[in-house]
Structure 1
Amino acid sequence: MSVDSLFRKVGEHAMVIKKVEDKILNIVSIRFISIIVILIITFMCIATEKISQSFIDNVESEIKLELKQKVDIAYNTIAPILKLKREGKITEEEARKNISDIVKRMIYDDTHSDNYIFMSTYDGYYLVQPFEPEKEGTNMWDVRDSNGTYVIQQIIRTAKNSPNGSYISYFCKLPNSSLIEKKLTYVRGIPEINAYIGTGAYINLKYKKLYCLLNMQKIILMIIIAVIIILMVLYTYKLHKVNCSLNSEIKNRLKIEKELKNEKDNIIVQKSRLETLFNYSQDAIVEFDTSGIVLNVNKSFEKTFGYSKEECLRKNIDKLISTEETYNQTKKLTLKIMEEETINIEAIRYKKDKTPINVLVRSIYIKINNNILGVYGIYTDITEIKKYERKLEYMSIYDALTGLHNLNYFNKKINEYENNKLSSVGIIMCDLNGLKLVNDTLGHQYGDILLKNFAYVLKKSVREQDVVARVGGDEFSVILTDINRNQVKKIIKRINSNIEEFNKSLDEKMLRLSVAIGCSILEENKNIEEVIKDADDIMYRNKLINKASSKNQILSVLMAALAEKDFVTLGHTERVANMCMKIADEMGLDEERKSKLILLSEVHDLGKIAISNDILNKEGDLSEKEWSIMKSHTEKGYRIALNSNEISSVADLILKHHERWDGKGYPLGLKKYDIPIECRILAVVDAYDAMTNPRPYNKIKSHEEAIEEIKKCSGTQFDPKVVDIFISIVS
């Protein structure tokens, strides 16, 4: 169907629709009917509201007048008695009794049942209650209605405030019923006898006529609405028949319009998709003809290869992205593209400045009616992927921390030597002592430095052709080829010599190297796996022999480094130890506890070796984070002590030496006698020495000031008994 014929059909259908619309306009509109309905409903609602309100107002006025009349009649009846009371001829009690007798007889008919005049005193006692005589003489001051209102209190206030009478409303049950209704009451005070009289009526019962009228109006309104709905349904049915024919015409028109629009949109969309795909692809795309002449390039091609679009057009693609040396190879691939429908291959191509880049080359034919008009060449830059692959390859055989070969490479070389049946192979196994202790106390950054330092010394000590590998956390291995037993001994001697030389050159004593070494050499009756096992066994045997000395050596280094931190003054340890011994003697501690106490006084702050000097020597208060770090020195000291035979016996005391008598210490929150006696003694002595000697974080106190501070903390921070003994000694 041509575009002209489509437009003619659209015009014809438009005329038909116009005629149908004219017919509809001649019919009574739904707007007119809707307005009539709204007006009728509005009128009915307003009329109902007006009539109802008028009736309610009239009924309520009649009720009020009726109640007032009854109370006024009652009041006039008892007026002579009140006159006698005012003249003093009778007492208040006699007047109240005479009036009560008269009021009790004042019963009258009401809409719901018999009603009455009630009477009560100002202090809440019922005097007259004909229908509930058992309540007469009862105080009803705290009686509340269903809404929580204190009814009697409110009636009394009204009677007092309006002696000539006033109205009050509240909620209560209907007589002989559980229903709760609103009750309107008229009361009048009788101040001569401190009492009041009144009567009431249920308002809603008076409105029954109104409710009947309202119901009638509702029924009439519903009938009117039903009639209107019927008319609307009839109108809608009639309109529906007209719309059916109109919808049929509209559908035909929409179908024709859609065909025309789709025909145009398909061409635009297809072109837009191809342009978007070409121009905004992340891959570099070039379009060239069968001769390799460039017809178009996208932005990614310009960015990847460094050419502008103008520099590429009408140029040979192979000359653009190759060098003179690689041109022939590139040309062969282009010819292969012409022969095969698609290719997918990795290659190296060159930018405008002849910088090589790794690319993934793909191609797609441009074919119409089985004729190849050209090719799309797609180049994905994979240079970063290749770099990452090389990095992964490096990581697969090298240790990231030390730069030595790793266990994977070590095993690979062992398998190679095993398969090649090499006869002269030696193995050296090394284990770095104290790594765990350094990690636990100083932190893993120091442990890493220790590993790097040893890797440097080990690599320096062996030959260039030897394979040096880190095969575990603190374990290193060396594979020696073309070697004999004497040469192996010389290399081990060189390793030890270089370690000793390195340790002497170190400024930081904490990073001294201590290594256990084992070696073995391949013999006729052994395989390489057995050689590795022998070297490993020898290394561990040496480690066990030297275990105590190596750990104590490291501990000595740590104690020396602690002294260099300069956070305690000269003589601190001796002063604390001497005073601790005096208190221990006074308390009668046994020799074992005394020995532990002396050792504790020397090493209790060992964990501070792992605390920054900035925190230890900070003047003023520590921040919350700094205080948290400072408190960790007890746990660090505990771990150090466990790793040394010399002081392992006081590891638990080091952990607990900052606990407080009141349980607010750290790290365990122990209190009173759960804290070891050695720690309780040290706490007092150490605090006194800290207050009376220079420290970065406080001013020196006099002897008297320090004693006063310790007395103040007795029973909270310190054991009171230890404080008393300490004060008796220093005084």
Structure 2
Amino acid sequence: MKNVSGKISLAKAVFISLAVIMLSVLFATLPGFAYDKYDLQKKPAIEKIRVVLEDNYPPYSFRASDGSLHGILIDQWALWEKKTGVKVIIEAKDWNSALTEMNQGKHDVIDSISFSDERAALFDFTKPHSSAEVPIFFSKNISGIKGIRSLKGFSVAVEKGDIIADILRDAGIKSLVEYDSYESIIEAASKGEVVVFVMNRAPAMHMIYKYGLQSEFTSTDSICIIELRRAIKKGDTELLALVENGFEKITQSEYREIDNRWSGFQNYNTDKIASYIETISFFAFSILILLLVWNYALRRNVNAKTSELTAALSELESSQEQIRAIIDAMPDMIFIVDSEGVFLDYLSRKQKESLLVQPEDFIGRKIADLFPYDITAKFMKGIDIVKNTGKNTMLEYGLGNNHYEARYIPLSESRMLCIVRDITEQRLSQEKIYQMSVYDEPTGLFNRNYFENELGNIEGECKPGMAVVMCDIDGLKLVNDTLGHLEGDAYLITAANIIKSHFADSRLIARIGGDEFAVILERATEESILKTKEKIKEHLTLINQSERLLPISLSIGYGIVSRISPSIADAMKEADDFMYREKLHHKLSFRSKNIDFIKKMLETRDFITEGHGRRMEDLCITLAYRMGLSQKDVKDMALFAQFHDIGKIGISDSILFKPGRLTEDEFEEMKKHAELGYRIAESSPDIMHISELIFKHHEWWNGSGYPFGLKGEEIPLQCRILSVVDAYDAMTNSRPYRKAMPSEDALQELRRFSGVQFDPSVVDMLIDILASPDALPSQYNPS
């Protein structure tokens, strides 16, 4: 019974299911039950929307010369209108006005807006529909701009209301100049009013070409990527859904068709484009006609030239000796190799002496059999490039102390020419030029050029605790003028070595001026710098005790990056001011010592002895009094007598102490001591007032002296007095190369040259003084 009832239940279930299916099909065919799937779509409640966007944002939106709107966004909204049936009213204006009116509720949708937290409080945003690269554009006359940090100190132009302005402000760039539109920024740039600006790359490039600024401005890599969206009033979810759904109905192929339509967009209006196309077409047609004429002429001449070419080829084949001569004249080594790196031939017979292995020992062998692995790998890479591309290639390699350049030139599919040239001298010259451009010659430190370039990088890494130390050699000019520039360079080297030894952990040390050095420290405190400064002074004291005729001294200033000096440039200025204050203090402290230094130099070179200097001074003073000079002039006369020959410090000993007569060239060199003495005196405050006397003390009464050829009373009286006294003292006192002459003989010489070399009145006065023993200084008084 159970089996029977189960079968009945199963049959009943199958019958009921078939009945339901048949009824469903029947009802579906009846007119009252038939329906179209499209009947379920309801017409949207929103019949039109107002869209606002920027009117100068190519290729997305822009106005043609007639004022009509064009661009990617205009075409997309037109297609959206078609897909949704909702009327779209587009208004375009400058971005700031568009954003302001959207905030005021005058529009339903704003297009191509970037998301920000501030804007998110006012609007709801769609998904991004595109993105925009944002680089920094700047004049090619400016260097050092690499990113946002490097914009500090520049006035940067941005569009008013652009989110880029907020990004720059958040990064600490405050000097922003806002313009109503991108085009107003470019227009200002064309007038030279803007040299740095930040905007989206696509419209920027369009307008730069439009205004012809492509050769004047360049750009960095993108500093950020901005996503462009559409936004509606906050909370209007119905409109947001309508906008997004409408754009989702646009297929990818339709999007691509719109993008392709504007992908070649340039910065010219349609009138210009039509004009350019017409001009290009004309020239293209003209060129075509010319080519046809030319082709016809060539075809007429080709047969006539074929025989000539055949003859030329035959002649070329017979000129192998000439080619050989050319190859032999070349300074290169020329090989033929195959694609497997096997040497097939060597063509440069005259360059065999440059080979480490002779041709008979390498022809038929592989490169790998003769060269190390690294060089072989380079050679084979070059061969592979030629084999795969059919183009010439070049590589460089080193072998021992020499550098070589190898060029590969294809001859056939499996053979190529390898031309090798020794470029050792060229590389050494390049290295030397580089060294000269970066390093200071005498000290070996970095030079000012390198320092200034590196300073820009350091500025970007500036942080509290970094410091600048400035050092200046005191009195280097006096050293150069008195001891010569070689000795001055020795002082520079000593100072550089001292600075290097005490700032060994510095970021950068450079000589940035004639006597100035700069040190950049990455971590420093005022206490650590002062300790180092004291150690340097102790080091200098030790050196000056044992090595220096003129002591070496450094003025040192420092500046530390802090709230007061927030940048490296500020710290450097602080260090420079500090250093110059100390230099002024040193100058005042050493002033009284200059005379002692100069006397020490004179004594060291044996220019004066105690007796000679004393005699000169006393006799000059006596003559000066008798000639009626004032007390001040007499005092200057005493200094003049001691230091008139200070310039001889810079004259070679071989000339200065030569026992015989000087040659013409030697005498010209000796004459330079007057000018050198003048420069030394000008560098020494205590004898600066007698520098002119030192310059003119070799002038002759008749005008045949030097350096100016002054004559008679044009020569200062002190110089005329010293000229007579110096000659008398030289004749009456023994020198290493001659004996002293009697006083009467010396006076006779003075009389003989009176009116020629000497002032007659000074000669007569000296004779009168020497005739009165009581008027003589003790050194000249025979009693």
Q: Same fold (TM over 0.5)?
A: yes
Q: TM-score, normalised by structure 2?
A: 0.56
Which of 406, 429, 434 in structure 1 is aligned with 2:470?
A: 429
Equivalence for 1:360:
405
CA distance in 1, matches of 2:416, 2:390: 9
Q: Deviations over 1:291-328 (max 9, x none)?
A: 433221133774555110101111123433x3245545
Matched, 1:509 2:549: yes
Secondary structure of 2:318's match? helix
CA distance in 2, matches of 1:483, 1:265: 80
Shift of 1:643: 1.8
- Aligned pairs for 1:111-190 (under 5 A) are none
Q: Quick check: 1:304–1:381 contact (8 Å CA) kept in 2?
A: no
Q: Quick check: 2:603–2:609 contact (8 Å CA) kept in 1?
A: no
Shift of 1:359: 3.4
Matched, 1:646 2:691: no
Equivalence for 1:311:
361
Equivalence for 1:543:
583
Secondary structure of 1:314's match? coil
Which of 696, 702, 717 in structure 2 is aligned with 1:677?
A: 717
Q: TM-score, normalised by structure 1?
A: 0.59
Secondary structure of 1:632's match? helix
Matched, 1:346 2:398: no
Q: Quick check: 1:344–1:362 contact (8 Å CA) kept in 2?
A: yes
Which of 770, 773, 783 in structure 2 is aligned with 1:730?
A: 770
Q: 1:450 to 1:535 in 2, by over 3 A?
A: same
Secondary structure of 2:364's match? coil
Equivalence for 1:523:
562
Matched, 1:297 2:337: no
CA distance in 2, matches of 1:682, 1:332: 83
**Sequence identity percentage:** 35
Which of 431, 444, 448 in structure 1 is aligned with 2:485?
A: 444
Secondary structure of 2:661's match? coil
Q: Quick check: 1:558–1:609 contact (8 Å CA) kept in 2?
A: no
Q: What letter matches 1:432 in structure 2? A: I
Secondary structure of 1:546's match? helix
Shift of 1:411: 2.4
Q: 1:398 to 1:551 in 2, by over 3 A?
A: farther
Equivalence for 1:613:
653
Instruction: Look at both structures and tell me which one has the larger radius of gyration over its CA atoms.
Output: 1
Q: 1:554 to 1:480 in 2, by over 3 A?
A: farther
Secondary structure of 2:736's match? coil
The RMSD of aligned alpha carbons is: 2.7
Q: 1:429 to 1:266 in 2, by over 3 A?
A: closer
CA distance in 2, matches of 1:626, 1:523: 60
- Aligned pairs for 1:14-25 (under 5 A) are none
Q: Quick check: 2:442–2:489 contact (8 Å CA) kept in 1?
A: yes
Q: 1:648 to 1:297 in 2, by over 3 A?
A: same
Q: 1:522 to 1:676 in 2, by over 3 A?
A: same
CA distance in 2, matches of 1:628, 1:275: 59
Shift of 1:723: 1.6
Shift of 1:488: 0.5
Q: Which moved more, 1:633-642 or 1:376-385?
A: 376-385
Q: Quick check: 2:462–2:568 contact (8 Å CA) kept in 1?
A: no
Q: Quick check: 2:439–2:446 contact (8 Å CA) kept in 1?
A: yes
Q: Deviations over 1:652-711 (max 9, x none)?
A: 111122222222222122222111111222222221111111223543111221122222
- Aligned pairs for 1:583-662 (under 5 A) are 583-662=623-702
Shift of 1:503: 1.1
Secondary structure of 2:597's match? helix
Unaligned runs of 5+ in 2: 1-307, 772-783
Equivalence for 2:739:
699
Q: 1:715 to 1:361 in 2, by over 3 A?
A: closer
Secondary structure of 2:405's match? strand
CA distance in 2, matches of 1:385, 1:555: 52
Q: 1:347 to 1:259 in 2, by over 3 A?
A: closer
Q: Quick check: 2:341–2:367 contact (8 Å CA) kept in 1?
A: yes
Shift of 1:422: 2.9
Secondary structure of 1:589's match? coil
CA distance in 2, matches of 1:716, 1:591: 29
Shift of 1:356: 7.3
Q: 1:642 to 1:347 in 2, by over 3 A?
A: closer
Q: 1:641 to 1:549 in 2, by over 3 A?
A: farther
Q: Quick check: 1:318–1:331 contact (8 Å CA) kept in 2?
A: no
Q: Quick check: 1:429–1:536 contact (8 Å CA) kept in 2?
A: yes
Matched, 1:577 2:622: no
Q: 1:311 to 1:555 in 2, by over 3 A?
A: farther
Equivalences, count: 463
CA distance in 2, matches of 1:279, 1:715: 76
Shift of 1:329: 5.3
Shift of 1:509: 0.3
- Aligned pairs for 1:359-508 (under 5 A) are 359-367=404-412, 372-506=413-547, 508=548
Secondary structure of 1:454's match? helix
Q: Quick check: 1:568–1:695 contact (8 Å CA) kept in 2?
A: no
Shift of 1:519: 1.1
Q: Deviations over 1:244-302 (max 9, x none)?
A: xxxxxxxxxxxxxx999978644311x22443454443222211234433221133774
Q: Quick check: 2:375–2:397 contact (8 Å CA) kept in 1?
A: no
CA distance in 2, matches of 1:633, 1:656: 11
Q: Quick check: 1:288–1:317 contact (8 Å CA) kept in 2?
A: no
Secondary structure of 1:405's match? coil
Matched, 1:719 2:759: yes
CA distance in 1, matches of 2:309, 2:573: 84
CA distance in 1, matches of 2:310, 2:514: 75
CA distance in 2, matches of 1:375, 1:725: 97
Which of 285, 288, 291 in structure 1 is aligned with 2:334?
A: 285
Q: 1:556 to 1:267 in 2, by over 3 A?
A: same
Q: Quick check: 1:437–1:643 contact (8 Å CA) kept in 2?
A: yes
Q: Deviations over 1:540-569 (max 9, x none)?
A: 122222224435534532321111222334
Q: 1:457 to 1:263 in 2, by over 3 A?
A: closer
Unaligned runs of 5+ in 1: 1-257
Secondary structure of 1:709's match? helix
Equivalence for 2:117:
none
If each structure's helix is expressed as a fraction of its own residues, which one has the higher value?
1
Equivalence for 2:72:
none
Q: What letter matches 2:527 in structure 1? A: N
Q: 1:600 to 1:620 in 2, by over 3 A?
A: same
CA distance in 1, matches of 2:705, 2:654: 23
Shift of 1:439: 2.5
Q: Quick check: 2:382–2:395 contact (8 Å CA) kept in 1?
A: no
Q: 1:682 to 1:404 in 2, by over 3 A?
A: same
